[in-house]
Structure 1
Amino acid sequence: MARDPDRTREKLLHAAVAEFAAHGEAGARIDRIAEHAGVNKRMIYAYFGNKEALFAAVLEHSLGQLVETVPLTTDDLPGYAGHLFDYLIDHPERHRLALWRVLEGSRSTEAEERSTAEKLSALRDARAHDSGLDAASLLVFIMALVRAWPSTYDRMTRPSFADAAAQRAAVVEAVRRLTAT
C-alpha cells in the first residue's frame, strides 16, 4: 500500500486537535494521538518534531480554519461577533485549544500574531474616525464578549437553541453598542 504523507499528516492533526482540546499541551499524550490517528508514533516526530511543535501546528491549523470560515468584517462588527460565536459553539474544541494555550502559557504562533496584526490594522483603518476605543481594546472586548459563553459548552451540555440564540443576541447587541459612534 502506498504511503500518503498528506493523509497521514491530516490524520495526526485531527487526532491531536481532540487530544489537546481534552487535555491541553501538558496533559496530551503522543501515544494516544498516534493510536487515535492509527499511525505509528514515530510519524509524529517525523512530521512535527516534538509535542510542542505539534501543538503549535494544531493551533495554526485551527486558526487557519477559523479565519477562513469567519473573516473579520470591519463594516459589520456585530455580525462578525455573531458569526464567531456560532463558530465557537459549533467547534468547541477550537475554543478549548485557545484556552489551553493561555492557561499553559504557550507562546502564540506566528499565524496568531500575523492574524492579530492584520485585524488590528483593518480595525484602525476602518475606524480612523472613531476616537473612542483604540483598535486593540476594541478587538480584545469583542473577543471577550464572544468567548464568554462558548467556553462553558461541550457536546454533552450544549445549551438549548433558545438559550444559545439569546446569548448570541446579547453578544451581538453588546458589540453593536460598543461600536456605535
Structure 2
Amino acid sequence: MPRDSEATRARILEAAITEFSAVGFSGARIERISERSGANKRMIYVYYTDKEGLFTATLNEVITKLVSAVTPDHNDLPGYAGSMFDYLIEHPEAVRIAAWRQLERPTTGPQTTDIYAQKVAAIRAPDLSETAKAIPPTDLLILVQGMAGAWLHTPAELLTHDGSDPQSPQRLASHRAALVEAVRRIVAG
C-alpha cells in the first residue's frame, strides 16, 4: 500500500496543533506528536525539518485561518464581534496557539499584515458614528477583537462567579449577546 504523504503531513500537523496549543513550543515534545499522529518520528523531520519548522507550520495554519475566518463589515462591527466570538469558541486552539506565539516566538509565523490592513480598511468607512470615528481604526479593531476573545482569556473563577456553567450554550449565548451589545454601543456613539 503506497504512503499518502499529504495525509501523513495533515495528521502530523493536527497532532502538532493539539500539542503546541496545550503546552507551547518549549513544552511540546516531538515524541508525543509522533505518537498522537501515528507517524514515524523521522517523518516529522522529513516534512518539517525540526521542531521550530513544525511550530512555524502550525502557526501558519492556525493563525492564517484565525485572521481570515471572519471579515469585519463597517456596517456591522457588532456582528463581526459576535462572529469572531463564535469562531474562537469553536476553535479554542487558535487562542491558545496565538498566546503561545506571543509568549515564546512573537516574530514567528505567517505574514498577516495584508489581512490586517484589509480589516483596518474595512473599519475606515465614512458612515461610522462620530464616536467610532474618534477611535483610530487600528485601535477599534484591536478593541473589538480583544472583546471577542476576552471570554477565553478570563479566569475560571470569574467565569463561574454567577454560578452558571461557563461552557453551557445558554451562558455562551448570553455572553455573546452582551459582547454584541457592547460593541454596538461603542460604534453607535
TM norm structure 2: 0.83
Could you tell me which residue of structure 2 aligns to residue 134 of structure 1?
A: 136
TM-fit CA distance, 1:99 = 1.3
- Tell me the secondary structure at the aligned position of residue 73 of structure 2: coil
The answer on whether the counterparts of 1:95 and 1:150 sit within 8 Å (CA) in structure 2 is yes
Could you tell me which residue of structure 1 aligns to residue 76 of structure 2?
A: 76
Does residue 146 of structure 2 align to residue 169 of structure 1? no
Could you tell me which residue of structure 1 aligns to residue 153 of structure 2?
A: 151
Could you tell me which residue of structure 2 aligns to residue 37 of structure 1?
A: 37
Could you tell me which residue of structure 2 aligns to residue 16 of structure 1?
A: 16
- For residues 81-111 of structure 1, give each alpha carbon's deviation from its aligned partner in whole angstroms, at most 9, with x where no partner exists: 1011111112211111111111224315233
Does residue 28 of structure 2 align to residue 3 of structure 1? no
Between the aligned partners of 1:148 and 1:111, the Cα distance in structure 2 is 24
Between the aligned partners of 2:182 and 2:78, the Cα distance in structure 1 is 8
> 1:140 is aligned with what amino acid?
I
TM norm structure 1: 0.86
Which blocks of at least 5 consecutive residues in structure 2 are unaligned? 157-164
- For residues 42-101 of structure 1, give each alpha carbon's deviation from its aligned partner in whole angstroms, at most 9, with x where no partner exists: 222222222222112112211333345423333211111101111111221111111111
Between the aligned partners of 1:41 and 1:3, the Cα distance in structure 2 is 15
Between the aligned partners of 1:100 and 1:127, the Cα distance in structure 2 is 37
Q: Which has the larger radius of gyration?
A: 2
Could you tell me which residue of structure 2 aligns to residue 92 of structure 1?
A: 92
- Tell me the secondary structure at the aligned position of residue 111 of structure 2: helix
Between the aligned partners of 1:117 and 1:14, the Cα distance in structure 2 is 29
The answer on whether the counterparts of 1:25 and 1:104 sit within 8 Å (CA) in structure 2 is yes
Could you tell me which residue of structure 2 aligns to residue 107 of structure 1?
A: 107
Q: What do you get for the CA RMSD once the two structures are aligned?
A: 2.3
- For residues 117-163 of structure 1, give each alpha carbon's deviation from its aligned partner in whole angstroms, at most 9, with x where no partner exists: 22123323x25865311111011101110111023599xx7522221
Between the aligned partners of 2:4 and 2:155, the Cα distance in structure 1 is 36
State the percentage of identical aligned residues: 44
